[in-house]
Amino acid sequence: MTKVTLSGRPPEQDVPGAPAPIDPATGMHRDYWVLSEEDRAKGFIRPVRFKYVHKSCGAVTRMAPILAETYARDPTFYGATVCVGCKKQLPVAELLWVGTQDEAGSCGGRTDLVFQ
Ligand SMILES: [Zn+2]
């Protein structure tokens, strides 16, 4: 699979796991790795979900559509993501998809969804 930057710009860095540093004002990286359009077009192995809730603080964060599609294609693509309430990067196991008990990054126990 091919990763590209969300912005389309060349990466500024690739450590730890993002192509640009964290903006201290938001806790978000200034740019993110995503799967290429070609890879995302191969199909998703879990639903495309846009909103997750941080179990500890209850804040709901909305993902950009391309990040949500990347996650749906490869639930292990991101090991950490931001909480807009805490304004910091958190392990995905601390986040649940809104309206579910599925941890972000988990496969939700489904085995019927497979890569094409
Ligand atoms: Zn939080």
Ligand 1: distance of its center to the CA of 96 in Å? 11
Q: What are the distances in angstroms from CA 12 to CA 17, 78, 90, 94, 99?
A: 12, 18, 22, 28, 36
How many CA atoms within 13 Å lie on the side-chain side of 55?
12
Ligand 1: distance of its center to the CA of 67 in Å? 19
| Whole-prediction pTM | 0.84
Ligand 1: distance of its center to the CA of 37 in Å? 30
Ligand 1: distance of its center to the CA of 48 in Å? 21
Q: What is the pLDDT along the chain (116 residues), one digit of tens a residue?
A: 899 999 999 999 866 679 999 998 988 999 999 999 999 999 999 889 999 999 999 999 999 999 999 999 998 898 888 999 999 989 888 999 999 888 887 655 444 443 33
Domain boundaries, the chain: 3-97
Ligand 1: distance of its center to the CA of 115 in Å? 32
The answer to whether residues 44 and 35 touch, using CB atoms and an 8 Å cutoff, is no
